[in-house]
Chain A
Amino acid sequence: MQFPSTPIKALTALALVLTASAAFAEGEVNIYSSRHYDTDERLYADFTAATGITINRIEGNADELIERMRAEGANSPADILITVDAGRIWRAEEAGLLSPVASEVLDTRIPAALRDPAGHWFGFSTRARVIFFDKDKVQNPPQTYAALADPAYKGMVCMRSATNIYSLSLLSAIIANDGEEAARAWAQGVKDNLAREPEGGDTDQLRGVLSGQCPIAISNTYYFARAIRTEVEGLTAADGFDRIGWTFPDQGGHGTHVNISGAGVAANAPNRDNAIAFLEYLASDQAQAYFADGNDEYPVVEGVALAASVAGLGSFTRDDLNLAELGRNQALAQTIYNDLGWK
């Protein structure tokens, strides 16, 4: 009878045909990335054109990519891990998945606060967490993150869910700068000021300003800059986009909270030299412009021109807290939010 044997054949065939073709050949670099911007494709293509090194990539959530690297162990094909926040790249370092890189190019071009002191990871672009507000409704917008907890703004503040990485990073930075107790009081104060239960993404916070629900909203710069550059539903001129004002918080204090797109070389990288070459390429003026522009972010290298949409936001002083602190305090930040009943 054929029936029972068919699955056996099928399984055998699958096992033979579908096993992985390992990507170890010369002239390759394998990237595990949680960046997923179509504009990065051009960046990769330029690198290949300039160096002849082929890029293989998998995109996914950083924590899942980290799990995959961890499981793959010594035979992992990953050369580079790219994450879109400092907390995750720090976590990969903690798990022993990244190896230190000593590169004169990277060390001189990337500011010290935006890279691991030991060279496990480097930031290649930044985005700032900024306070947006409705100019018609808010005459005295908050100038600091601390002010968001001021009872004067009761019922006016919109923020993302506490489990979102941006909310966690911001609270992690406050823990690092002002201590756990101050952070706890801040989270409670902001919760009391919420205009609505936390919901949606950053773009939704901005849309909330225009629909009238959120006199004050916290969002990353690039979502706003994107709406300047192209048409984003709910954020067009017809929706009243010009009503949105913004302040870069803490200009007189620690500086505005930023996060990074960061990358590090894998501990078991089969193409280590190519990996370092790729990171150095990312720090070049040309790549910096692309890497930042594609997602309306800030380049990390001094002197690289900003995209018009980003330049229009004005200049600001960055919080120079070393970003490793964001990773270190992230679990505590989530604990605080949970304790206070944040959604």
Chain B
Amino acid sequence: MPIFRHRTVSLLSKTTGPMTVSPAEKPTIPIPGRVMRLGLGPIAVLVAAICLLPVVAVLVAALTGSFDTWRHLMATVLPGYALNTLLLCASVAVGAAALGTAAAWLVTMTRFPGVRIFEVLLALPLAFPAYVLAYAYTSFLSHSGPVQSGLRGMMGWGPAGYWFPDVRSLPGAAIMLILVLYPYVYLLARASFLQQSASAFLAARALGRGPWYAFWAVSLPMARPAIAGGVLLAVMETLADFGTVAHFGVQTLATGIYQSWFSMGDRTAAAQLAFCLMTVALFVTLLDRQNRGRARHNNTGKRFETLSPMPLRGWRAAGAIALCAVPVTLGFVLPVIVLAQMAVGSGQDVTSPRYLHFIGNSLILAGLAALLTMAGAMALRFHARFQAGRGPRAMVEIARLGYAVPGGVIAVGLLVPAAGLDNALDAWMRANFGLSTGLLLTGSIGLMLLAYLVRFSAAALGALDGGLAPVPRSIDLVARTLGAGVPRTIWRVHLPIMAPSVLTGALIVFVDVMKELPATLILRPFNFDTLAVQAFRLASDERLAGAAVPSLVIVAIGLLPVVLVLRTMSLRGRA
């Protein structure tokens, strides 16, 4: 069969040497399951416990106060907020799913002019903080912006009496969020398509079905866990988003939290709303679980084969180019141009020692957080895979919740128990040793990293889900039968197969942390400024031109790992 190439599992694990499944060869270090449980289990429990901390803190705050503000909000603004949240999430889910999946399929399964470039470009909007995109588009499209002013000048229109879509609106916010969030679906779906065995697809083709049918009936369902994982991330990020919706004046549950907290000074009501948000997130997660439970697709083919991509010509190629070019242009090229124009002459010097300090801090935080979060997510995910029962799976779901909660809420939810712990330790040390330890964890980078772990575990887990789903359970069983312990099975079998997903997950966390603002702002040590903090300082002073500079640097740094990971994945996928 000339249209595909064969590869065996052993070739996938090139870097670590072949994992032969020959019964003749005995595994070198047989490790009983019990030993493994001692290692993986406690870490998984610890990670889940950390993720649960802010949830509990929020719950306690929500239940220990009065419900007066809550009742006022229910009677006035809350129903509208809930409806807006729902509409926004639904639009983002549909938009991101369609755009991300279509783009991923086109670049992995077909060939058209420019496909290699688009493959990288399509992931770039990920590097944009949604609020920065919102800033760029409002200044570009608002009534006083260049587009409308230009139109008025050209057409001789007055200041009113003509129609122009209002970017500061719910559809506007949905488009912004789709543009920055579709790359989640794109990256995860792409990893899944690359990882998919071709045999099922080929079987459909051999049975006389066209390539489009085979896509719908075979490739798509197999990639569904990955796509659903990406959509779930997009929806949760939408739930947590405050910057974009606040800038656009779209009132959601997240803005409700801040209104109760900041405007009304009512922390209890804020906690009650945050708890609502977590409930919605839990509901969405469970819905996703249930959906997946019904459709389970494992690669059952004995071999992993990759397809030769299908060449597209004529109008099909043009269509593919257009489909890829639209999100890249709107989500990356145009905002970069707008921001660059704003940045010129704003007096922010990127090469100054001050900026190098910002960049260094951002890199340290994002790098450490990506490592820690991915390690924690792997402990949770593999624990759930190898340990039967509801507990391990529940722990994974708990860890996901943080992604749907605004960073400021997570930060305060962690501050309370962490400072409590610090103060208790300090009191104990004073009492017993006459020594004050002060605040150890609070105001340290350590607590920031924990906050990122809570906030972004879902991103890492989503990537791992997508990577693990197509790995047949039978492989686990074979490895175990041959005496390989769980760690060895993970190290030698799973990780090599799912390396693209692990890299993708770590990349998403890295970029997310680069962009993260509220938790960074409130938890950081003295004199510890990052790029996102600098962007915030300038933007909250309404110096958007200045804020464009750190924003562009965030985007530029985010590009590097995006390109790197995509290249690694491409090489693996096409080797």
Residues of A at under 8 Å CB distance from B?
1, 3-8, 10-11, 14-15, 18-24, 30, 36-38, 56-61, 63-65, 67-68, 71-77, 87, 91, 161, 163, 165, 168, 197-204, 207-208, 210-213, 223, 233-234, 239, 295, 330-331, 334-335, 338-339, 341, 343
Interface residues of B in 366-391 (CB under 8 A from A): 368, 371-372, 375-376, 379
Q: Does B264 contact A (CB under 8 A)?
A: yes
Q: Is the CB of B438 within 8 A of A64?
A: no
Q: Does B300 contact A (CB under 8 A)?
A: no
What's the Cα separation between A58 and B444 when bound, in Å?
12
A339 to chain B, nearest CB (A): 6
Q: What are 17 residue pairs bridging A and B, where the CB atoms are less than 8 Å apart in the complex?
A: A7-B379, A14-B446, A19-B446, A36-B537, A61-B522, A64-B412, A67-B415, A68-B415, A75-B438, A77-B439, A77-B526, A207-B142, A208-B144, A210-B144, A213-B160, A223-B542, A331-B264
Residues of the A chain whose Cβ atoms lie less than 8 Å from the Cβ of B69: 331
The segment out of B222-230, B255-263, B302-310 that lies at the interface is B255-263
What's the Cα separation between A203 and B485 when bound, in Å?
63
Q: Is the CB of A63 within 8 A of B72?
A: no
5 closest A-B pairs (Cβ-Cβ)? A212-B159, A4-B39, A1-B487, A211-B144, A56-B526
A95 to chain B, nearest CB (A): 9
Residues of the B chain whose Cβ atoms lie less than 8 Å from the Cβ of A75: 419, 422-423, 426, 436, 438-439
Interface residue from B72, B264, B536 paired with A330 (Cβ < 8 Å): B264
Given A1-B488, A18-B446, A335-B264 in contact, is the A58-B526 Cβ separation under 8 Å? yes
Q: Is the CB of B376 within 8 A of A211?
A: no
Q: Nearest residue in A to B29 (C-beta to C-beta)?
A: A1
What's the Cα separation between A211 and B148 when bound, in Å?
9
Residues of the B chain whose Cβ atoms lie less than 8 Å from the Cβ of A200: 138, 142, 168
Residues of the B chain whose Cβ atoms lie less than 8 Å from the Cβ of A72: 415, 419, 422-423, 439, 442-443
Residues of the B chain whose Cβ atoms lie less than 8 Å from the Cβ of A71: 412, 415-416, 418-420, 442
Residues of the A chain whose Cβ atoms lie less than 8 Å from the Cβ of B372: 7, 10-11, 14
Q: Does B93 contact A (CB under 8 A)?
A: no
Interface residue from B46, B145, B249 paired with A343 (Cβ < 8 Å): B249
What's the Cα separation between A171 and B490 when bound, in Å?
62
Interface of B is mostly: helix
Residues of the A chain whose Cβ atoms lie less than 8 Å from the Cβ of B73: 338
A165 to chain B, nearest CB (A): 8
Q: Is the CB of B255 within 8 A of A163?
A: yes
Considering only CB atoms and an 8 Å cut-off, how many residues of chain B contact the other chain?
Answer: 88
Interface contacts (Cβ under 8 Å), in number, total 207
Contact with A along B387-424 (1 / 0, CB 8 A): 00000000000000000000010011001101110110
Q: Is the CB of B444 within 8 A of A19?
A: yes
What's the Cα separation between A210 and B142 when bound, in Å?
13
Interface residue from B259, B376, B542, B545 paired with A7 (Cβ < 8 Å): B376
Q: Is the CB of A202 within 8 A of B526?
A: no
Given contacts A57-B526, A71-B420, 5 further A-B contacts (CB under 8 A): A3-B491, A20-B442, A72-B423, A76-B439, A331-B264
Q: Is the CB of A3 within 8 A of B487?
A: yes
Q: Is the CB of B423 within 8 A of A73?
A: yes
Residues of B at under 8 Å CB distance from A?
29, 31, 36, 39-40, 43, 46, 69, 72-73, 76-77, 138-139, 142-145, 148-149, 158-160, 168, 248-249, 251, 255, 258-259, 261-267, 342, 368, 371-372, 375-376, 379, 408, 411-412, 415-416, 418-420, 422-423, 426, 436, 438-446, 449, 485, 487-488, 490-491, 518, 521-528, 533, 536-537, 540-542, 544-545
Interface residue from A67, A202, A211, A335 paired with B542 (Cβ < 8 Å): A202
A32 to chain B, nearest CB (A): 9
What's the Cα separation between A185 and B526 when bound, in Å?
46
Given A1-B487, A6-B375, A198-B249 in contact, is the A334-B263 Cβ separation under 8 Å? yes
What's the Cα separation between A76 and B436 when bound, in Å?
13
A78 to chain B, nearest CB (A): 10
Interface residue from B144, B255, B533, B545 paired with A207 (Cβ < 8 Å): B144
What's the Cα separation between A1 and B488 when bound, in Å?
7
What's the Cα separation between A37 and B523 when bound, in Å?
20
Residues of the A chain whose Cβ atoms lie less than 8 Å from the Cβ of B536: 36
Q: Is the CB of A1 within 8 A of B491?
A: yes
Residues of the B chain whose Cβ atoms lie less than 8 Å from the Cβ of A233: 139, 342, 544-545
Residues of the B chain whose Cβ atoms lie less than 8 Å from the Cβ of A38: 537
What's the Cα separation between A121 and B527 when bound, in Å?
24
A292 to chain B, nearest CB (A): 15
Residues of the A chain whose Cβ atoms lie less than 8 Å from the Cβ of B442: 20, 68, 71-72
What's the Cα separation between A198 and B168 when bound, in Å?
10
